[in-house]
Structure 1
Amino acid sequence: MDDRRHGETLDTLGVLRSRVADVRLALDLPSAVRARVDRAQLLDQIDDYLLPRLRSDAAPLLVVVGGSTGAGKSTLVNSLVGVQVSPAGVLRPTTRWPVLVHHPLDERWFSTDRILPGLPRLTEGDGAAAPDREPGARTGLRLVASDALPLGLALLDAPDIDSIVEENRALATQLLGAADLWLFVTTAARYADAVPWELLEAAQRRRVHLALVLDRVDAGAVTPVATHLRQMLDAHGLHDATILLVPESVPVAGLLPERSVGAVADWLTALGGDPAARATVIAGTRDGVTRDVLVRAGAVAAAADDQRHADARLRAAVTAAYADAADQVLRATSDGTLLRGEVLARWQDVVGTGEFIRAVEQKVSRARDRLVAAVRGRRAPEPALATAIGHGLEAVVLDAAEEAAERAHAVWRNDPSGAGLLHGLDLSRSSSELRGQVADQIRAWQSDVLALVEEEGAGKRSTARAVSYGVNGIGAALMVAVFASTGGLTGAEVGIAGGTALLAQRLLEAVFGDEAVRQLTRRAHERLAERVRAVLAGQSARYTAQLDALGTAEVSGDAVRAAVRDVAASQDAVESARATDGAAPSADDAGSSGASQGHLRGAGLGPALIDDATLRAAAPGTAQAEGTGTNRLRAWWRKVVRGDESAT
């Protein structure tokens, strides 16, 4: 791949990484559970493997040794190197400081942050023991140089994939994601366990080059175990995976016999000594991981859309609840509902109860004259009327707000994305500050009404004197007129309240005129609506503030999908160019020319590797199940276990 294509791929991957990192998956949705894992693993794959590998094609091939607890990973690594570089056993104090063994000349590739940039390094001499680490200590890589490793190849002993410590399991997954090749260690007794196969399926999705080391295989079980494992690999789409067998043997000073690890040592040595083969492994894994990243990014984009839609749904529920509450208040302030009880009694006090009742029964014009005279001639008890109106309004607003809180809370509680946001919050009721806020807004509205009266009266010379004598009284009449309709009343209340509103209307018309009164009433009601909506908006914000803090309203999968398309186009160009060249990556791409290869312990002592044809021929139901294939496999095993060089 030339520098131009390198640069294009790096640029598009960098953009994709940024877009994915910006995605917030804070709401508890079904799609978010898997997408959070995909997002974290995707970012790790880009940071720990793709970007470093694209920047440094010549870097050594990293073989990550993974597997289950007790599978023998560390013992295998130690046995290959010939010294205990990685503590073995179920309880390993350096589990969170996994060991990376490399050729001395390759140290600079790993001592920098080229790979796994988030992990600190601890460099030690060949075979040096790692210091004990307290539980909870931060994770890092312990680098060990060894001449046994071929130049251009490194082994990383990862934590157990089924560790009882969650951080170790996560680290194992992260390290496997940074590998050019997986050397997966399992045992003859546990190779069919579910946990390993979950990771092996991930390897298949990423098209990662894979070799399975089947450890502790009894001589009598080699045929059924090896053939069954081959069948399972084929069933999971891992047709190209290599199987390496390690016989059951007793370690001496913590190391397996050289012949026991001979097959693994030969295979790694052959790979380390072939730069073109290493380059092919690197290119294949890089392509597979890139494609896997694109799939994961697509899932993250879909989950991001779900987040935005859920955010909009939750906001709409709150908006609807409090919009209905505002409508409820405004209906109550325009259908005559407030012209009853204490408000009606205080209004009668203003105009004189006896004459008010008679005015309802007699001509409206005579009552109007009386009202005007009352306003001009004496100061009526308007404060009591204003207080009664305030109490009535306050009760209506508080009731509507409580209903809105209950309704919004019920919707969120029954929505998985909203239920998680309610934890620890008392949003099913209005806030304790609401009563005071409502009282303040009502007093402010009453001041608005008086200001409207003064403003209107200041421009009318004929009524200026009347207004100056009774601004409060006329303001009270305007408040009553705002509640003019009688839709909320029944029976005798309709007649009394209707007369009340009509008399207030006539009083205002006598002072300001018909058109001015209509304008005053409309403006007074609009200002009341504004203040009611403002106080209810403060209540609804208790809900929407939870969403604002998460930022899920801005989450969109479109930006991620656009970045995915760019990376896919770049990757297509890379693979197309490679196919056009008609050759595997050159040896130069792999860095090492094969000099200073090192000598893994056991190399050259193991028998020839088992080939797939041998295993498949030995599988039950095949034509050669009891013939040549089985005999070849048994002969091979006798050479491993007994050292029988005469076996064929």
Structure 2
Amino acid sequence: MHNETITHTLQGVREARDTLAAAHFPLETGGAGAARDLARKTVTQLDDYIIPKLSSLDAPLTVVVGGSTGAGKSTLVNTLIGEPVTRSGAIRPTTRQPVLLHRPEDAGAFTPERILPNLVRVPVEPGAALPGANPHNGQDELVMVPVPGLPAGVALVDAPDFDSVSDENRRLAKQLLAAADLWLFVTTANRYADAVPWEILREAAKRDITIAVVLNRVPEGSEDEIEADLTRMLAEAGITAALMMSVTEQDRDDQGLLPAVALTPLTFWLRSLGADADARSAIARRTLEGAVRGVAGQTHQLADAQREQEDAERALRQNLNDAYAHAFENVKESTKDGQMLRGEVLTRWQDFVGTGEFFRSVESTVGKIRDRISGFLRGTPPTKVVEVEQALEVGLHSVIMEEAAAAAETVQRRWLEDRAGRALLAGEDLGGQDKNFPEEIAESIRAWQQDVMDIISQEGADKRQKARFMSLGVNVTAVILMIAVFSMTGGLTGIEVGIAGGSGVVGQKLLEAIFGEDAVRRMANRARETLEARVKELLDRHAQRFEDRLNSLEMGPDHQALEDVAVTLTSAGETMMAGEQNQDG
């Protein structure tokens, strides 16, 4: 690939990496745990190998030596370089440092900025003993050992065992293998069919990584038979080994090394590879393209997991919105169907205006005897007005309180029925009432009563109208308007129509005589709108406890953003593949 193409591809991959790093999957959906692990794995693959390799395609090949416990990896590495540099032996520490062997002049190719950025480098002078691992520092380390005798263009990493008893060792082994240009798989005649290595080998096949295989401790005379069986198994897994060689059972020297001749095919192959820049480049590009393709596929999976998150969040929010929307509609209906003019409100209203018979007797001539009614109402004790206001407040308060409580209980129940909702509640009961909410309702109702007075004052700005409603008193006029709000669309039946409904109609007509029919309708509509706005505000505040839980979720990029990342990575892989083909051509 040309430098300009590499730069453009690298920029796109880095942006894709940042998007993937922002993916969180906070809701406990069925696939959330696996998605979080996959996202970490994907970002690690980009950080440890793909981005560094794209930045330096001409860097030495990183050959990771991996295998099962006791397969003889360290002995093989030490024999290759002709000295006991890496640790070997049947007993291995539970916390182990991988060792990277490189030529001294290649040290700059293996800094944290170039590969495996999260592993702390532990430099070792040539010929010096390896440092002991500190099991308490909580950091992954990579011991850097310069070895002048290594083939040019090649570095070896002695990785922890695939099947180590330590979870951390197994994790680190997989991380190192994911950062390899080439795998040197070391196994034995007795263990080459073990399940654990084959899980990792199948992952390697998906990445098109080049694999060389060393069969160690093969009984003399059984080499062909065992190699044939292993070759068959590799083929079934979609792998064609770049090198297959057997090492028979042999004695080691006093340094624990095998005879150098035992590894002649491997030594020759590595040296030939180191001397052939085009061959190294082809291996690196093929492995890199396979890694990018694999990450693109993983990103499609992450997009599906994110869609699941979005669906879960949407369902929880819908539960919340539906419950409180239902509560709001119920409160609205309660102020329209006559409920507010029953019981205590009806009693106090009757006490305020007198009997229904009186209002019916003046209904037909209300315009002519406005002054008579005004005089009657002016004679009503002020406490009667207050009692009607208080009765309305108590009735409204009760309705709002009950509906808010029912909504909260509904949301709590529905969230508990959902896995993601249960985790979001975290054992807390958000369905109970806030101790301050009753007072908030009372304050809001009093504020609405003031709203009604303000509407009257604004509508009655004309001097004649002002004189008329002031003759009644603002409070009295406000009470009549509030009753009109609750009775104009009321659903009272039977005797209640004759008492509350009839009285409300007369009160409404009295307001019409003062302000005019259109103005009264306009005033009633404004009063209802302000009431509904205040009720909506109250219910929204009550729902906020649930809303806050949802809003606290760090959802990260949406599924479409992740799909776009997958497309970007797929394109990057295709670009690399085209570059490899052009180079081959």
Q: Using structure 2 for the length normalisation, give the TM-score.
A: 0.89
| SS of corresponding position for 1:66 | strand
Question: Does structure 2 conserve the Cα–Cα contact (< 8 Å) formed by 1:85 and 1:127?
Answer: no
Kindly indicate whether residue 441 of structure 2 is the aligned counterpart of residue 441 of structure 1.
no
Question: Does structure 2 conserve the Cα–Cα contact (< 8 Å) formed by 1:249 and 1:256?
Answer: no
Matched residue type, 1:235: E
Residue 544 of structure 1, CA deviation: 2.9
Matched residue type, 1:194: A
Mark the CA change 1:514 to 1:127 in structure 2 (over 3 Å): closer, same or farther.
same
Residue 223 of structure 1, CA deviation: 5.5
Residue 205 of structure 1, CA deviation: 1.0
Kindly indicate whether residue 178 of structure 2 is the aligned counterpart of residue 200 of structure 1.
no
Residue 249 of structure 1, CA deviation: 5.5
Question: Does structure 2 conserve the Cα–Cα contact (< 8 Å) formed by 1:24 and 1:550?
Answer: no
Residue 90 of structure 1, CA deviation: 5.2
Aligned twin of 2:355? 356
C-alpha RMSD of matched pairs (Å): 3.0
Question: Does structure 2 conserve the Cα–Cα contact (< 8 Å) formed by 1:375 and 1:474?
Answer: no
Aligned twin of 1:473? 476
Mark the CA change 1:517 to 1:457 in structure 2 (over 3 Å): closer, same or farther.
same
In structure 1, runs of 5+ residues without a counterpart are: 584-648
Instruction: From 322, 333, 336, give the equivalent of 1:334.
Output: 336
Residue 319 of structure 1, CA deviation: 1.7
Matched residue type, 1:335: D
Aligned twin of 1:613? none
Question: Does structure 2 conserve the Cα–Cα contact (< 8 Å) formed by 1:335 and 1:485?
Answer: no
Question: Does structure 2 conserve the Cα–Cα contact (< 8 Å) formed by 1:105 and 1:151?
Answer: no
| SS of corresponding position for 2:382 | coil
| SS of corresponding position for 1:393 | helix
Kindly indicate whether residue 16 of structure 2 is the aligned counterpart of residue 13 of structure 1.
no
Aligned twin of 1:621? none
Mark the CA change 1:244 to 1:449 in structure 2 (over 3 Å): closer, same or farther.
farther
How many residues are treated as equivalent by the alignment?
Answer: 578
| SS of corresponding position for 1:521 | helix
- Listed as ranges, the matches of 1:275-294 within 5 Å are 275-294=277-296
Residue 335 of structure 1, CA deviation: 1.2
Aligned twin of 2:324? 322
Q: Deviations over 1:275-309 (max 9, x none)?
A: 33322221221221122222222333333334334
Kindly indicate whether residue 577 of structure 2 is the aligned counterpart of residue 575 of structure 1.
yes
- Listed as ranges, the matches of 1:332-411 within 5 Å are 332-351=334-353, 355-359=354-358, 362=361, 364-365=363-364, 372-381=374-383, 382-411=385-414
Mark the CA change 1:28 to 1:225 in structure 2 (over 3 Å): closer, same or farther.
farther
Mark the CA change 1:281 to 1:83 in structure 2 (over 3 Å): closer, same or farther.
same
Aligned twin of 1:157? 158
Q: Deviations over 1:553-596 (max 9, x none)?
A: x733334444444454454344335434544xxxxxxxxxxxxx
Aligned twin of 2:176? 175
Mark the CA change 1:499 to 1:241 in structure 2 (over 3 Å): closer, same or farther.
farther
Matched residue type, 2:578: S
Q: Which moved more, 1:268-277 or 1:228-237?
A: 268-277
Aligned twin of 2:130? 129
Q: In structure 1, how many angstroms separate the alpha carbons of the residues matched to 2:78 and 2:252?
A: 11
Aligned twin of 2:460? 457
Aligned twin of 2:551? 548
Mark the CA change 1:347 to 1:573 in structure 2 (over 3 Å): closer, same or farther.
same
Q: Deviations over 1:15-50 (max 9, x none)?
A: 322332333422233444443333222222222212
Residue 214 of structure 1, CA deviation: 3.5
Q: In structure 1, how many angstroms separate the alpha carbons of the residues matched to 2:557 and 2:194?
A: 39
Q: In structure 1, how many angstroms separate the alpha carbons of the residues matched to 2:249 and 2:467?
A: 111
Q: In structure 2, how many angstroms separate the alpha carbons of the residues matched to 1:76 and 1:451?
A: 92
Aligned twin of 1:99? 99
Mark the CA change 1:525 to 1:197 in structure 2 (over 3 Å): closer, same or farther.
same
Residue 83 of structure 1, CA deviation: 0.8
Mark the CA change 1:154 to 1:435 in structure 2 (over 3 Å): closer, same or farther.
same
Question: Does structure 1 conserve the Cα–Cα contact (< 8 Å) formed by 2:285 and 2:576?
Answer: no
Mark the CA change 1:274 to 1:501 in structure 2 (over 3 Å): closer, same or farther.
same
| SS of corresponding position for 1:550 | coil
Matched residue type, 1:414: E
Question: Does structure 1 conserve the Cα–Cα contact (< 8 Å) formed by 2:52 and 2:115?
Answer: yes
- State, as a whole percentage, how many aligned pairs show the same letter: 39
Matched residue type, 1:66: G
Aligned twin of 2:244? 243
Q: In structure 2, how many angstroms separate the alpha carbons of the residues matched to 1:244 and 1:529?
A: 83
| SS of corresponding position for 1:473 | helix
Aligned twin of 1:302? 304
Q: In structure 1, how many angstroms separate the alpha carbons of the residues matched to 2:221 and 2:507?
A: 108
Instruction: From 536, 539, 546, give the equivalent of 1:536.
Output: 539
Matched residue type, 1:478: L
Question: Does structure 2 conserve the Cα–Cα contact (< 8 Å) formed by 1:107 and 1:145?
Answer: yes
Question: Does structure 2 conserve the Cα–Cα contact (< 8 Å) formed by 1:350 and 1:380?
Answer: no
Residue 244 of structure 1, CA deviation: 3.7
Aligned twin of 1:620? none
Q: In structure 1, how many angstroms separate the alpha carbons of the residues matched to 2:272 and 2:583?
A: 25
| SS of corresponding position for 2:428 | coil
Question: Does structure 2 conserve the Cα–Cα contact (< 8 Å) formed by 1:212 and 1:244?
Answer: yes
Matched residue type, 1:19: T
Mark the CA change 1:536 to 1:272 in structure 2 (over 3 Å): closer, same or farther.
same
Residue 99 of structure 1, CA deviation: 1.3
Q: Which moved more, 1:237-246 or 1:516-525?
A: 237-246
Mark the CA change 1:537 to 1:221 in structure 2 (over 3 Å): closer, same or farther.
farther
Residue 87 of structure 1, CA deviation: 5.8
Mark the CA change 1:111 to 1:239 in structure 2 (over 3 Å): closer, same or farther.
closer
Kindly indicate whether residue 522 of structure 2 is the aligned counterpart of residue 522 of structure 1.
no
Aligned twin of 1:62? 62
Q: Deviations over 1:143-193 (max 9, x none)?
A: 111234222211112233444544443332222111101123334444333
Mark the CA change 1:569 to 1:463 in structure 2 (over 3 Å): closer, same or farther.
closer
Mark the CA change 1:90 to 1:312 in structure 2 (over 3 Å): closer, same or farther.
farther
Q: In structure 2, how many angstroms separate the alpha carbons of the residues matched to 1:129 and 1:203?
A: 30
Aligned twin of 1:497? 500
Question: Does structure 2 conserve the Cα–Cα contact (< 8 Å) formed by 1:212 and 1:242?
Answer: yes
Question: Does structure 1 conserve the Cα–Cα contact (< 8 Å) formed by 2:86 and 2:158?
Answer: no
| SS of corresponding position for 1:182 | strand
Aligned twin of 1:482? 485
Q: In structure 1, how many angstroms separate the alpha carbons of the residues matched to 2:447 and 2:294?
A: 62
Q: In structure 1, how many angstroms separate the alpha carbons of the residues matched to 2:177 and 2:89?
A: 19
Residue 7 of structure 1, CA deviation: 1.9
Q: Which moved more, 1:282-291 or 1:574-583?
A: 574-583
Aligned twin of 2:146? 145
Q: In structure 2, how many angstroms separate the alpha carbons of the residues matched to 1:503 and 1:168?
A: 87
Mark the CA change 1:182 to 1:365 in structure 2 (over 3 Å): closer, same or farther.
same
Aligned twin of 1:644? none
Mark the CA change 1:167 to 1:409 in structure 2 (over 3 Å): closer, same or farther.
farther
